[in-house]
Structure 1
Amino acid sequence: MLTQHEYETNELFLEHSKAPRPDKVHIGLVQLSTDHSIEADLNRLIGSSAMIFSNRVYYSSSMTKEALAEISQGITKSASLIATGLPMDVMAFGCTSASIVIGNDKIRELLTVDNPGIPATNPWMGALAAFEHLRAKRVSIFSPYPTEVNYPLYQQLVAEGFTVPTIGALRIEKDTDITTVSFESMLEGARRILEHSPTDALFMSCTNLRALEHIEKIEAELGVPIVTSTQAMYWHAMTLVGKQPKIEGFGQLLAG
């Protein structure tokens, strides 16, 4: 066996040139420790146009305003550990209900402490922008949340100038249970909501709700645009960097 000195004199030194950063939109994502759906859904959407670099932040899974507000304590630390040394084009926080409770401006601030000046989004910010883009004034809600989370959602929609004809709520108490909601339950709930009052768009809230793959089926059945949390967040992230996405199979918002 060679000594270290002998090894060093025999090691073949190779030179290398630097390849450019991949020519894709780099999205830095902070997602919840309890989210079982957002990664798979984003992988369905990004195609060859974007790359997702993510980290997780702790969440107890309890669907209360207090538990959702506590998530804010870990967002900046989580964001700082995303792909160290690789610049992001846009930052994203993957929780709708926490964004409503914490606030869009605060979320943006927490996400960009180490990346000042770059754009940031979240599912709630993306949804509001999507409603404007779709020219939807009357927005009904399919919500998996309990009432104490639904009421702030309603308040903020109204404050933004939207009419909210109906909010249908599953009143699920744990975030990890939201991912188990079946397509049949989503479709039947959406039917009931639209039967109750006419609407311009239906927002199916929560990144953990596995609605993305069913958007086109629900739109075809109900005849109104369906906006989901992950779909809206991705659409908004891309538009913030000037890359209007056009993807077939995931609803009117992404179809261009």
Structure 2
Amino acid sequence: MNTIEEFKNWEINLPHTQAPRIGRVHIGLVQLSTDHSLEMDWAKLLGTQAGIFSSRVYYSSEMTPEALDKIASGISEASDLIAYGLPMDVMAFGCTSASIIIGEEKVAKLLTKNRGDIPATNPWTAAQAAFKHLGAKKIAVFSPYPTEVNFPLYNQLTAAGFEVCTLGSLGIEKDTDITKISKESMMSALDQILPDSGADLVFMSCTNLRVLDHIQEIENKFNIPVVCSNSAMFWHAMHLTGHTAHCPGYGKLLNL
């Protein structure tokens, strides 16, 4: 065969039908270029209940309000790149501190700008919803952030009606260093801030914090519910689509 016309006459045209979308919750996720932990954590939670479709937005890794605010300029474009032509059920933005600095409503609008009328979440919105779901009013906060990020975190929690009874901070200044925090350091910090705090719950902030695997152990040791950014956002993404996240072994929130 020397021509495309000869090839057309030779090839066999086959009929086909189209199957519906895979029957599980579809979550569109915009995460940071510096995040090393969120995908690994969610891979453990998804099972057959949800599928994750993601892209990334540039972040300098500097833990300052100014650098975090700049992330906003890339969120919509990153959202547009997610699985073109495939409808999502919910959109998620994977940065707790940027959601605090940029603002929850603005993040939601940027995420869904070209995605239609679907819900959106982020770790900060999700964490607050999780606190209410668990009936917690007094919150202990474990933060890897510097003071300039912790102050708006504190202010927004108190403005939302929660009592921040203690806040322990590691003061880390680069996002890529947060993922390197050891389990031993987290346990030692909780030993310092939780006893006699009167907290109903401990929030361990940051999607880059590798704490998901230790939540059950922490809950057993301190007899207190643990919410981390990655557990909260998965729970909330499922909740917003009318589903209950069920992930045994990852703490009370994901195993109610």
SS in 2 for 1:208: coil
Query: In 1, distance between residues paired with 2:180 and 2:149?
Result: 19
Identity of aligned residues (%): 58
- In structure 2, the residue matched to 1:222 is 222
Query: In 1, distance between residues paired with 2:137 and 2:237?
Result: 22
- In structure 1, the residue matched to 2:93 is 93
- In structure 2, the residue matched to 1:17 is 17
Q: Which amino acid aligns with 2:73?
A: Q
TM-score (norm 2): 0.98
SS in 2 for 1:165: strand
Q: Shift of the alpha carbon at 1:196? A: 5.4
- In structure 1, the residue matched to 2:197 is 197
Q: Shift of the alpha carbon at 1:160? A: 0.4
- In structure 2, the residue matched to 1:112 is 112
**Which aligned segments of 4 or more residues in structure 1 are displaced greater than 4 angstroms?**
none
- In structure 2, the residue matched to 1:124 is 124
For the aligned residue pairs, the C-alpha RMSD in angstroms reads 0.8
SS in 2 for 1:195: coil
Aligned pairs (5 A) from 1:51-70: 51-70=51-70
What runs of 5+ residues in structure 1 fail to find an aligned partner? none
Aligned pairs (5 A) from 1:132-211: 132-195=132-195, 197-211=197-211
Q: Shift of the alpha carbon at 1:156? A: 0.3
Q: Which amino acid aligns with 2:15?
A: E
Q: Shift of the alpha carbon at 1:2? A: 3.1
TM-score (norm 1): 0.98
Q: Could you report, residue by residue, the CA deviation over 1:6-65 in whole angstroms, capped at 9, with x for unpaired residues?
A: 112111111110011001000000000000000010110011000000000000000000
Q: Shift of the alpha carbon at 1:195? A: 2.2
Deviates further, 6-15 or 36-45: 6-15
Q: Could you report, residue by residue, the CA deviation over 1:92-151 in whole angstroms, capped at 9, with x for unpaired residues?
A: 000000000011100110001002310000000000000001111100100000000000
Deviates further, 193-202 or 207-216: 193-202
Query: In 2, distance between residues paired with 1:232 and 1:83?
Result: 24
Query: In 1, distance between residues paired with 2:196 and 2:98?
Result: 28
Q: Which amino acid aligns with 1:176?
A: T
Q: Shift of the alpha carbon at 1:197? A: 1.6
Q: Are residues 1:246 and 2:223 paired?
A: no
Q: Could you report, residue by residue, the CA deviation over 1:193-213 in whole angstroms, capped at 9, with x for unpaired residues?
A: 102522000000000000001
Deviates further, 189-198 or 63-72: 189-198
Q: Is the 8 A contact 1:96 1:123 kept in 2?
A: yes
Query: In 2, distance between residues paired with 1:30 and 1:100?
Result: 16
Q: Is the 8 A contact 1:144 1:172 kept in 2?
A: yes
Query: In 1, distance between residues paired with 2:252 and 2:204?
Result: 14
- In structure 2, the residue matched to 1:213 is 213
Query: In 1, distance between residues paired with 2:103 and 2:132?
Result: 19
- In structure 1, the residue matched to 2:3 is 3
Q: Which amino acid aligns with 2:67?
A: A
Deviates further, 2-11 or 99-108: 2-11
SS in 1 for 2:131: helix
Q: Is the 8 A contact 1:166 1:196 kept in 2?
A: no
